[in-house]
Every structure is written in C-alpha cells, then in structure tokens.
Structure 1
Amino acid sequence: MKVVRVEEAERVENPHGVDVRKLIDEKSAQIFYITLKPGESLKRHTTPVDAFIYVLKGRGIVEVGDERAEVKKGTAIYLPKGVPHAVSNGGSLDMAFLVIKVV
C-alpha cells in the first residue's frame, strides 16, 4: 500500500509557478494535487496523455480547446491528449484540484 499525505508530497517545479504536489507516480497513472491562489493559473498547454481534473475546493475557469466552463468543488473535467487546456482561479479563495494523468 502506498499512502501519501498532500503536506508531505514532493513539490514539482513547473512553468506555471504554482503549488503542484506529486501524490502518485506509477507506470499507468500519475496524480498531482494543485493549489491555485486567487489570480493564479495553469497557462494554456497540452499534454501527451489523456488527463482528468477533479475540483476539491474553490471555483475556477477551465478551458479545453475552444470550450470554457466555470467549475467548482465536485466537478470532473476530461482533458484529451494533445488538446490545449488552461485552468484559472479568478475568485477570492484558493482553488485545489487533482490532475490524474493516464500514462
């Protein structure tokens, strides 16, 4: 069994300059815990694998391709590989979400 606490998880350097913690890094999947403070964002980018976002707290805007949606706690979003996507927190509270990459 692998047990990882967010507070103790490895921080990952990233081009977005936000708090990213690697929770799981296995052959078939990776899970990251990301916190966006008000005004922070994951800039538009692509990934070479399918991924999913699950919002744990707060609100934000997710863009996938030409689509844009407001998201909040309890929302899941599919990010197809190779399709540009972005996440932003325009609110006044922190936003936290999981990114699950299917490797």
Structure 2
Amino acid sequence: MVITTYKNQVVKDTPHKIDVREMYNKESAQAMLMALQPGESLKPHKTPVDVFFFVVEGRPTIHIGEESEVCEADTLVESPADIVHYISNSSSSIARVLVVKAPRPTSQTRVL
C-alpha cells in the first residue's frame, strides 16, 4: 500500500502560480490536487491527453472550450485532449480540485 498525504507534498512550481501538489504519477495516469484561493485562476491551456476534474471542496468555475460551469463539491467534469481549458475561483472561499490526466502526458501542456 502507498499512502500520499496532501500536506506532505511539495507545492509544484507551475506557470499558474497556485498551490498544486502531485498526488500520483505513473505512466497510466497523473493526479494533482489544486487549491485555488478566492480570485485565483489557472491560465487557459491545452493538455495533450484527456483530463478529468473532481471538485473536492468549494465552487470553482470550470471552463472547457466555449463552455463554463460553476461546479459543486463531489462533481466530476471531463475534458478531452487538445481543448483549451482552465479553472477559476470567483467564490469567497477556497476551491480544491483533483486533476487527473490519463495517460500521463509525454509532452508539455501548452499555456496560451
């Protein structure tokens, strides 16, 4: 058994400049837990693999292509490969989102 605890993971240095921590990283998939403070947002970007977002806490807005939706905790949102997407938090409380890429990308995400 392998147990990974969020608070023990190092905050990754990303172009988005938010709290992102790697929870799982294997060839089959990669999982990151993001914490967006009120007013924070990812930069629009494209990922070379399919992604899903699972809202753990808060009410972030998930933007995929031309669609945007405020999502509640316990909601899963799918995003196909090579579609512009990002997450923003316009609420007054923290939003935590588990981001899973499958399979793990072999090329870089493209920030727009």
| TM-score category, normalised to shorter length | over 0.9
* TM-score, normalization by structure 2: 0.89
Partner of 1:81: 81
1:66 paired to 2:66: yes
Partner of 2:109: none
SS at match of 1:2: coil
**Which letter maps to 2:59?**
R
Which ranges of structure 1 fall in alignment gaps of 5 or more residues? none
RMSD after superposition: 0.8
Structure 1 or 2: more strand by fraction: 1
State the distance in 1 between where 2:36 and 2:7 align: 15
Partner of 1:23: 23
**Which letter maps to 1:51?**
V
Partner of 2:35: 35
SS at match of 2:90: coil
Q: For residue 10 of structure 1, report the CA deviation from its aligned partner.
A: 2.9
Partner of 2:56: 56
State the distance in 1 between where 2:62 and 2:55 align: 11
Q: For residue 43 of structure 1, report the CA deviation from its aligned partner.
A: 1.4
Equivalent pairs: percent with the same residue? 35
Which ranges of structure 2 fall in alignment gaps of 5 or more residues? 104-112
State the number of aligned residues. Answer: 103
Q: For residue 23 of structure 1, report the CA deviation from its aligned partner.
A: 0.5
* TM-score, normalization by structure 1: 0.96
**Which letter maps to 2:30?**
Q
State the distance in 2 between where 1:93 and 1:61 align: 13
1:91 paired to 2:91: yes
1:102 paired to 2:97: no
Q: For residue 11 of structure 1, report the CA deviation from its aligned partner.
A: 2.0
Q: For residue 86 of structure 1, report the CA deviation from its aligned partner.
A: 1.1
